[in-house]
Amino acid sequence: MDAGDILAIQDLLAHYGHVVDDADWDRLGDLFSPDGVFDLQALGLGAASGAAELRTCFEGLEHPVAHHTTNVVIQGTGDGRARVRCKYLVVMRDGRTRSGEYRDDLVRGADGWRLQRRTVVPRPPGEASPFG
C-alpha cells in the first residue's frame, strides 16, 4: 500500500470516533460501504448490514461518551482491499473505561476507503458490553 492509502485509512478510523461521538448518523455512509456490516456478536448484540440496518443499530445503542482508536495495523490485501486491526478505548458516562479491538475489512471505492465489515472484539474475551 502506498502512503496515501495508509493515511486515508487512518483518517477514516479517526473519523469513525467523531461521527459516533457526535451521533451524526447521517454520516455513516462516510464510514461504511453500502453493504457494510457492523458486527457486535461478541457482545451479544448481533450484526447490522447495509445503510438502513446500520442507522437503526447505531441509533439504538447506548454509546460511550468517547471512542478512541490506537495501535492501528494496516495490511493491504490487493484489489483495493485492506485488513486493519486496531485497539479501542471507550469512556463510559460514569467515567469507567472499556477496551478491545476492532477487526476491520476495508474496501476502496469511488468515494475512498470505507469499512466493509467492522467486528468488535472486547478484551478480555467475554467481557460485558462496552455499550451498557
> Does residue 27 lie in a domain region?
yes
> Does residue 112 lie in a domain region?
yes
Show the domain range for 43: 3-122
Judged on CB neighbours under 10 Å (0-12, 13-18, 19+), 118 is buried
> Does residue 117 lie in a domain region?
yes
Judged on CB neighbours under 10 Å (0-12, 13-18, 19+), 119 is middle
Tens digits of residue pLDDT in 4-27: 999 999 999 999 999 999 999 999
**Among 96, 105, 98, 103, which Cα is nearest to 121's?**
103
Which domain CATH number covers 36? 3.10.450.50
Q: What is the mean pLDDT of residues 39-64?
A: 95
pTM of the model: 0.90
> Does residue 98 lie in a domain region?
yes
Tens digits of residue pLDDT in 69-115: 999 999 999 899 999 999 999 999 999 999 999 999 999 999 999 99
Residue in the structure block whose three cell numbers are 471512542: 67
> Does residue 86 lie in a domain region?
yes
> Does residue 90 lie in a domain region?
yes
The residues that bridge with 105 in the sheet, in sequence order, are: 83, 117
> Does residue 128 lie in a domain region?
no
Q: Is 46 helix (H, G, I), strand (E, B) or coil?
A: coil
Give me the number of domains the chain comprises: 1
Alpha helices in the chain (DSSP H): 3-21, 50-60
> Does residue 131 lie in a domain region?
no
Give the pairing type, strands 112-122 and 32-39. Answer: parallel
